[in-house]
Chains A and B, each alone.
Chain A
Amino acid sequence: MRRIHLFVTAILLVTVNTGATFEDKGYSVGDYAIDFKLKNVDGKMVSMSDYRNAKGIVVIFTCNTCPYSKIYEDRIIAINNKYAGQGFPVIAINPNDPARQPGDSFDLMQQRAKDKGFTFPYLVDETQKVTKTYGATRTPHVFLLKKENNKYRVAYIGAIDNNHKSAADASEKYLENAIEALKAGKKVSNDFTKAIGCTIKWKEA
Chain B
Amino acid sequence: MRLANILVLLFLFCSNEVLGQKVEVIKFPELQEIINNKDASVKVINFWATWCKPCIEELPYFEDVHATYGEQGIEVVLVSMDFVEDLDTKVKLFVEKKQLQSTLYFLDETDYNKIIDKIDTSWSGAIPATLIVDNRKNKKDFYERQFKKGELSQIIKTLIN
Using a CB–CB distance below 8 Å, which chain A residues touch chain B?
A: 66-67, 71, 101, 137-138, 141, 158-159, 162-165, 169, 171-172, 174, 193-201
Contact = CB atoms under 8 A, between A and B. Distances in A.
A141 B125 CA distance: 10
B126 A198 contact: yes
A198 B111 contact: no
A101 to B, nearest CB: 7
20 contacts: A101-B53, A137-B125, A137-B144, A159-B112, A162-B110, A162-B111, A164-B110, A165-B83, A165-B84, A172-B113, A194-B112, A194-B113, A194-B116, A195-B112, A195-B116, A196-B116, A197-B125, A197-B127, A199-B52, A199-B126
Interface residues of B, number: 24
A200 B126 CA distance: 8
B127 A162 contact: no
Nearest to B117: A194
Contact of A196 (B84, B112, B117, B146): B112
Interface in B31-45: none
B124 A137 contact: yes
A174 B81 CA distance: 22
A197 B126 CA distance: 5
Give 3 closest A-B pairs by Cβ, nearest first.
A138-B126, A199-B126, A137-B124
B145 interface: yes
B11 interface: no
Nearest to B123: A194
Nearest to A193: B113
User: Which DSSP category, helix, strand, loop or mixed, fits chain A's interface?
Assistant: loop
A147 to B, nearest CB: 26
B110 A165 contact: yes
A196 B81 contact: yes
B70 interface: no
B110 A194 contact: no
Contacts of A193: 113
Contacts of A138: 124-126
B28 to A, nearest CB: 13
A38 B45 CA distance: 38
Given A195-B112, A196-B125, A200-B126, 19 more contacts: A101-B53, A158-B113, A159-B112, A159-B125, A162-B112, A163-B110, A163-B111, A165-B84, A171-B111, A172-B113, A194-B113, A194-B117, A194-B123, A196-B116, A196-B126, A198-B52, A198-B126, A199-B54, A201-B54
B146 A199 contact: yes
